[in-house]
Amino acid sequence: MLTLHGAALTTPPTLAPLDGSVRPGELLAIVGPNGAGKSTLLSLLSGFRACQAGAIRLDGRDLAQWPVYALASRRAMVAQQEPPGFDWRVEELIALGSDPDPALVTQLLDQMDLLDLSDRSILTLSGGERQRVLIARGVCQLLSRRSHAATDGGLLLLDEPTSALDIGQQQRLMRQLRHWAHQHAMAIVCVLHDLNLASLYADRVWLIDNGARAAHGTPAQVLTPERLTSVYGAELQILSNATGTAPLFALVP
């Protein structure tokens, strides 16, 4: 789906050349300390920021060559902070620009625990509620514009999607993201600060540090106490994990 071929930014904020791929049906977490380049990398993957070296290709075609309308059917992005804009009702905002089947909007409202808010103004919502609405809008954009010939559900890019959510909503959202990835063969890329969320729910992890990818692989391969202590400068202890597949961490008191 999305492939990086030495993709880089050579002027600040810089990103070192990066090769790799984002695959349909997986949840990829991008983690790293503040200022490491995570959001910059996400903007590069979206096409909003152009490569200054190398290339990024979606379906084998350079991102810069995609017409805006066609790209919107294959890629959706939810930024870390988006201004509320006009006084849209929640269900209107979710459907904005994609002319979806009303049944899809209702389904997304239900999946994102927003049914009771469907007629509310976006301007009256809390930060966490608005965050869930914008994620639903991104998914609606991809699913409603999906062509009959498409073999996957497109690319969803999320910048810190759990930042304004309580722990219950964080859990429900991450479970829902994995569901969408598997059900629709959607490629989902999340910038996350919570290492435990990345460890529990991501299929793969990219660890970014000082504008470069320091490690990549499964959570168990990437999120080691030694590496995280070096990158974050934090004292961590590993906790037991009931699933036995991914590490969980806590700060050393």
Q: What is the pTM of this model?
A: 0.94
Read off φ and ψ for residue 53, nearest 5 degrees: -155, 150
Model confidence pLDDT, tens digit, residues 116-133: 999 999 999 999 999 999
pLDDT at residue 191 tops 90:
yes
What percent of the chain has a predicted confidence (pLDDT) above 90?
Answer: 81
Residue with tokens 């503040």: 34
Rounded Cα distance, 99 and 79, in Å: 22
Ranges of each domain in the chain: 2-251
The confidence score (pLDDT) of residue 81 equals 75
Model confidence pLDDT, tens digit, residues 211-227: 999 999 999 999 988 89
The confidence score (pLDDT) of residue 245 equals 66
Q: Rounded mean pLDDT of the chain?
A: 93
pLDDT band at 154 (very low <50, low <70, confident <90, very high): very high
Q: In CATH, what number does 2-251 get? A: 3.40.50.300
Cβ atoms of residues 56 and 43 within 8 Å: no
Rounded Cα distance, 6 and 24, in Å: 21
Averaged pLDDT for residues 195-213: 96
What is the DSSP-derived secondary structure letter of residue 89?
A: B
